[in-house]
């Protein structure tokens, strides 16, 4: 169906809902300044917030997110910054 994709864009860390194999047509979900997610605890909070919001949105249209598979982005989508 799709994936939750996080990526660095300028000074922001951005969350999108994207197709499994491409960012083309990805739907913007939210963003936060990188300086605020340098702390891994805050980074996890932002990721969990995006997961929760997306799960709720899917639920409003009768869909369901059964699980999250957290894996690294495909090499061609990586920025080289952690």
The string of pLDDT tens digits covering residues 34-79 is: 999 999 999 999 999 988 887 877 766 666 666 666 665 556 555 5
- Average the pLDDT over 3-15 and give the result: 92
Closest CA to 2 of 47, 44, 49, 55: 55
Confidence check: pLDDT of 21 > 80: yes
Closest CA to 70 of 50, 53, 79, 59: 50
Of the two residues 69 and 10, the one the predictor is more confident about is 10
């Amino acid at each position: 169906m799709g994936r939750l994709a996080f990526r660095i864009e300028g000074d922001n860390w951005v969350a999108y809902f994207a197709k499994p194999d491409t960012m083309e047509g990805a739907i913007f979900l939210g963003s936060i300044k990188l300086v605020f997610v340098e702390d891994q605890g805050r980074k996890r909070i932002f990721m969990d917030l995006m997961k929760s919001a997306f799960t709720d949105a899917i639920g409003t249209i009768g869909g369901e997110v059964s699980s999250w598979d957290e894996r690294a982005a495909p090499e061609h989508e990586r920025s080289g910054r952690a």
